[in-house]
Structure 1
Amino acid sequence: MSLIDPSDSLERQNEKLLKIADSLMRRVEYGTTHSGAAYAQFERAALLEKRVRERTLELESTLDLLHDANTQLARANQETEAARRNLADAIETISEGFALFDPNDDLVMCNSRFCRDFRDTADDLKPGLAFDSYVDRVSRSAYLHLPDHQDRNTWAKMRRQRHKDRRVMFNVQLIHDRWLQVSEHRTANGGTVVLQTDITDIMRVERQEQAKLRDKQTRMIRATLDHLNQGVCIFDENARLVGWNQKLGSLLSMPARRLRIGASFTGLLDDLDDTFQFTRGIDRASFRRWATSDGLRQPVSFEVQRGDSIVLHIFGRAMPDRGFVISCTDVTAEREAAQKLYELNEILEQRVMERTLELEDALSAAERANASKSRFVAAASHDLLQPLSAAKLFMASLSDKIDTPNEQAVLAKAETALGAAEQIIDALLNISKLETDGLSFDIRAVALREIFDPLRDEMEMLAARKGLVLRIIDSSLAVDSDPSYLRRIVQNLLTNAIRYTDTGRVVVGARRNGDSVRIEVWDTGPGIAEENQNLIFEEFRRLDTKASNNDGLGLGLAIVERACARLGHPLGLWSELGRGSCFMLNVPLARQAQPNLPVKSRNASAMSLLKSGLIILLVENDPQLRRAMSILIESWGVSVIESETAESALELMEDLQITPDALLLDYQLGEGLSGTELYEELMRRLGRLPCAIVSAERSVQLRQETKRLEIDLLLKPLDRTKLIEFLHAAARRIAV
């Protein structure tokens, strides 16, 4: 329970509290009893008085704060009102129409110049007016001038659509040829400021400048047209003449009175008499339809002939305003030159045809001569290899019978000379084959070990004889190539390196180079000068003029270059004088190498054949070679049945009624069966027997044929070691 009413004013509450305090004091002073209750009441009265005093102080402080706040609010209101008056005064001083819309697109304020030109809408522009209402009032204003193709609703819709853009600026046309530029700018809080600028003077000046520019352009166009060497005429969308130059009248022989502004195209076309003939492109009627059509005109080009000598080229093209322009060019000189060129071209073509036929005849003769040369070289090589092979076999048979060192030395020199002759013949044969278009290769996967190992055995002694260190680095890589030609390429490069290196070493190796393998042959020879690096690949070219014929005829590198070109193996050369050279060729890397074949013993002894009891059928049409082979084989204790032709061999086998242990058959036996055909016939009669075809031919077809028949191929001149290996294989078959 409260002693005072909270709803009373502060003065009334203070009055009540004073009376209560006075009553309590009297009670304490004049009370009849001096009990503790009276004193307690006094304490409570004193406490109440303290609280009243504190409350009074708080109320006074609150009143002071309230008074200060009211004072500040009044000052702020005054400042706001002053700022509003200043802003209103500021925008009123702007020479442009100004209006501010809040983020809700309601009008906040505007100056007196805003929409001043729209007098019938000025009274409606009051704060709170929505932007859409402002657009509606402006679109219905009588002072707004719209183009003929646009109504007021369309303009209002377009205006609202532009209002959605962040940046707006466009021109509005008023009546009496007045213009306003309207621009909108967004404020930071999302409101919009609209500015209206009177640009009437600018638009009028611009029109005047455009008129001046058009007059100037017209004069420039007229001067340009008159300067052209072509006749030009311009028509509007109604096919009426609006411009032309003087050249047009002279080219068309048309009087000046016909060329006037507004003349119709049809009338001008009809004025062209019959001396104008449409010769190329379109005819007169088609040209008329093109010019008078209402649709899209495609460019048109044609020629007309005036009289007997003047040729005019006419070109027409449509313009964006649906008009068209036509140009007329005198091309008489060009057509006369073209006619002369055509006649001259006919004469030249006739001469070229005659020359071509002559060249074809010469080429055919050259090809026939080249083919004849290749056949001659191949035949000559074959014929030369026959006696050469016989001579080697005779010497081989003598080597087992001569014991004195002097005689052995002479025999060795003779064998060396025969070997040199064999190399020369072999090189000539290879050159002949590489020049033949019908040459085919046996491309297959070849392990480089199969190429390097035999060359190491063959070349180590040759290098040691010159005091050179030969190192052939073993390789596990395999390549796609023709094994025989690849071996010949590497052999020629290696032989060449040993031949021209006096001291040091020769190194052969292979390294992987992406999807290919680069085979390199290094030497420490004298090197090759840069100007000579292309010459060394020519036939019969040797840079060492002191070299003898026994060192070769300079065909090795020629064979290498042509073989690499035919096989598609790029060949490279690095060389430096005084340091040495490196020949390198890139060969495609094989995915999978062929399995290594067991290497036959090169040191097989002929003496082990003495007790073998072998019987060999030898068929060779060359008497000397047949006799040499028989003497050599019989010296090893092997019985030989000789025959000259296939027919005589078949008759001999039928008469003797024996089956030989092995067959040695020459491939070219003259007329009748070849060596492979003879083997197939003997196989039908006697069964499968060990057989070796002996031939000087090194064609891929022969290699494929022997491979198909699963028989050996011994090339002439016969190698003594390979012949012994073949006989050993036949002897082992008997033993089994």
Structure 2
Amino acid sequence: MPEVAPLDRAELEARLASLEKDNQKLVRINAALIERIESGVTRGNDPYAAFQHSVVLAEQVRERTDALNQAMAELKASNHLLSDARLRAETAHQHLIDAIESISDAFVLFDQHQRILLFNSRFKAFWNNSRVEIVAGMRLAEVKRLMTVNGLFTEEALGHGDETLFYRLDDGRWLQVSERPTRDGGRVILFTDITDVKLAETLRREQAVAQKSQESERWIRLITDHVPALIAYLNADLVYEFTNKVYEQWYCCHPGAMLGRSLLEVHSQQHYQRLDAYVARALAGESVTFEFSETNLDNQERYMLRSYVPNRLASGEVVGIFVLIRDITERRRTAEALHQANQNLEQRVRQRTSELTSLNNQLLLEIDERRRMESRLREAKLEAERANLSKTKFLAAVSHDLLQPLNAARLFTSALMERRDPVASETLVRNVSNSLEDVENLLGTLVDISKLDAGVIKADIAPFALSELLDNLAAEYTQLARSEGLELHFIGCSALVRSDIQLLARILRNLLSNAIRYTYSGRVVLGCRRHHQRLSIQVWDSGMGIAEERLEEIFQEFKRGDVQRPDQDRGLGLGLAIVEKIAGILGHRITVRSWPGKGSMFAVEVPLSATAPKALPIPLMSEPMLERLQGARVWVLDNDAAICAGMRTLLEGWGCRVVTALSEQDLARQVDNYHAEADLLIADYHLDDEQNGVDAVARINARRASAIPAMMITANYSNELKRQIRELGHMLMHKPVKPMKLKTAMSHLLGK
């Protein structure tokens, strides 16, 4: 039989119902005919014809029954095919779902009406942090709108094609979004995470910029080292940041030896004083050219033509000086010879004409060479401006290494002073300690200036009782004033103010120190006055005063008063510069009034506080606290051997049992893998291999049954580190460490 194509199920069911209905009719007709024949009742006179008609009807019933059976078979086959097709469709659909779940990208499929058909879990994960629920049937326009409204994509950039976009997510990751049409008019969108590609691209760009900067610096040095002139660059603090080879050879310095040193450090006081007026004019923004006599290596006097060109920012601020020095001895001597020749007879003028012509040509060549040099310097100026800020930040960053050896020396001398040595040795040690303290103050001041310029120091504003600060300052400076033959008159104040107590103390210490330094006799007054919602903290002195035209000048760096106590050191003239910079950080106003011959008044205004500060216990140094140091088991962790040796000497002098180590591994070997008994752990914050003391203390205490009280010592003054150490419950001390303060802090921790 020819193969019959499967019919639609609904059509087969309709056909089956029709056949069953016809069959039932035929059955009833056949039964009626048979009954009539058997009963002998017919409508005609021909019984045979009636019988023959019934036979025909029976044959039709049989044919219809066969057709019905065939239709039933076809319906069963079609049902089986439909079941197989449904199973294959469901399997294919599941395979599709598994496939889109297996890809690493987020996937979403829209139909021809731009409604969601399918999406994988990675696409759904984008919406976990929002209240939006993504479901099938949502339109593409609605999905894009929700992405924008919920801030999922914070930045958009065009890709290489119209259907590729790049987005930055709110968590910092980057996505590449690709859209492709389907055959039935739908859309497929893929979201690919390209964060690593972006980071790699950024890293390559930064490395290229750094390499270009290094190449530019090498090129500038190559040029300047072969120019027959002395070339240097000084920043606004008069610190050398660049010197060429000729400059270093002229002043007998090794390559790079001048960098990072000030003009006053490199040259003698007499040499510096001769240049001071010209340097001041250059820092004020004026280009200065002048002749200057110097003695060379052969002890010959040479005449040098110096040019100081100020380096200005776009704002007009002078941030440094370009220095160009030419040896014009021969030119000057030639000029003198010409002048002498002009005093002689006319006939000698003719003899010198050819020489003058030659010299004039030489001068023209030198002028042309100078013009080319100035052009190169202008090109180098652009690079120097970009490098200037990083130089200042570099000086702030090396403060830790500057203070390390100084801290070690202070620990040694403090330990020696506490021992019972002969009077002569004690005097010598005390002199060494005083000298180190002076060096420490000078370095600390320079580091403070660099940190303020680099923006490293941040204010930690909080309410506090002003008496907490002023009472301590009054007690401290009363003794200092008395030692200088002066009287400090203090007027107490119980007001609550908002400021950074440490930075405000730095301002007041500088003002009090200046008042004592520039007062011969009489008294210094420390007090406060209210002005509405602000409080003016004032320091009065009875010194010689300041002329009105110099009131603004005194806040400049390296500017000092002309009259001060003869037994006082002159300092660096940075005190009031630091005051002004710190006041700028705090947002406090500094005012000054002065009466020449009578005295001056410096004041800092701070805002009053309506909320009371939290009371903190202040540890006092009592006899029981001192006894706690006797026999105390102290571990010291510092990557500087000198610091470890100094701490051991100092602490053992206080009766402590000390273990010092340069690393965690070194300490573990000495103390039974951290299981030995210990009362206190002192750790430096900066350790080797980019490790820090905070993490080291955490690892050490994690391996012990009970944690050791910890003290962190650092030259890092950041507020973030203060908060971190405070939250961990450790004690923080800043370098250089004061021995008395260290002893008090240790006693306090041991008391806990």
> Which category describes the TM-score, using the shorter chain as reference length?
0.3 to 0.5
TM-score normalized by the length of structure 1: 0.48
Q: Which has the larger radius of gyration?
A: 1
